[in-house]
């Protein structure tokens, strides 16, 4: 009886269809396992790639923000140079005589009287040399204010350093005014003006400057 029961199983094992089905199942299991492994590996690689990409994007953004101030720098530098050249040409006097002549015109136009006018030059700078005007000014208050406003708004570049009241009688006001303008170093040297007090290497007292006419 035992042999009879085993005959069908032997016949089944000999059947090619059984082996085909078993091989197909094994293959499907293998493919499934490989799919799961590939999926896991891809997820890990994708996550790593996304993190790396995000890091690079952050670095690129930071670099972009750092370079923003440098964009167009060459154009801004050239524009600044052009503005500086225009300023020198239009507002810096060409010589000491131009300064003295213009101060004389402003005196006449405003009605004030200047006295003890002295011009001195500071230590030569890289681009410009400061020229200092030290003078007494007298006149009625509206006349003095007219002179001061005209000096500040003049085409030649003047800066008022200080004004000190020295006396007042009736409607007349007496002031001491200290103002500055600038010349190119070569023009300042050619003017022959004495050095402003404090710029002499020897520390000697300031000699009298050229008096305005």
pLDDT of residue 177: 94
**C-alpha–C-alpha distance, residues 26 and 20, integer Å:** 10
HSE on the CB side for 84, CA within 13 Å? 9
**C-alpha–C-alpha distance, residues 75 and 196, integer Å:** 38
Cβ pair 103, 212 in contact under 8 A: yes
pLDDT of residue 210: 47
- For 156-213, write each residue's pLDDT tens digit: 999 999 999 888 888 899 999 999 999 999 999 999 999 998 654 433 443 445 444 4
Residues 48, 50, 55: CA angle, nearest 5 degrees: 95
pTM score: 0.61
**C-alpha–C-alpha distance, residues 130 and 93, integer Å:** 11
CATH superfamily of 94-191: Ribosomal protein S6/Translation elongation factor EF1B (3.30.70.60)
Cβ pair 116, 136 in contact under 8 A: yes
CB atoms inside a 10 Å sphere around CB 78 = 10
- For 115-164, write each residue's pLDDT tens digit: 999 999 999 878 899 999 999 999 999 999 999 999 999 999 999 999 99
Enumerate the domain spans of the chain: 2-64, 94-191
């Amino acid at each position: 009886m035992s042999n009879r029961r085993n005959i069908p199983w032997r016949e089944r094992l000999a059947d090619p269809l059984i082996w085909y089905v078993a091989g197909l199942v094994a293959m499907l299991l293998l493919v499934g396992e490989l799919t799961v492994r590939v999926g896991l590996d891809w997820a890990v690689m994708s996550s790593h790639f996304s993190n790396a990409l995000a890091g690079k994007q952050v670095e690129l953004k930071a670099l972009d923000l750092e370079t923003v101030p440098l964009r167009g720098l060459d154009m801004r530098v050239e524009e600044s140079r052009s503005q500086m050249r225009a300023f020198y040409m239009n507002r810096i006097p060409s010589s000491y005589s131009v300064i003295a002549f213009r101060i004389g015109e402003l005196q006449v136009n405003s009605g004030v009287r200047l006295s003890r006018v002295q011009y001195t030059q500071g230590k030569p700078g890289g681009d410009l040399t400061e020229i200092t005007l030290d003078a007494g000014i007298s006149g009625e208050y509206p006349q003095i204010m007219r002179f001061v406003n005209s000096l500040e708004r003049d085409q030649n570049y003047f800066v008022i350093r200080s004004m000190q009241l020295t006396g007042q009688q009736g409607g007349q006001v007496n002031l001491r005014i200290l103002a500055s303008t600038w010349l190119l170093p070569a023009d300042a040297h050619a003017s022959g003006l004495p050095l402003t007090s404090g710029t002499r290497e020897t520390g000697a007292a300031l000699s009298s400057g050229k008096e305005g006419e």
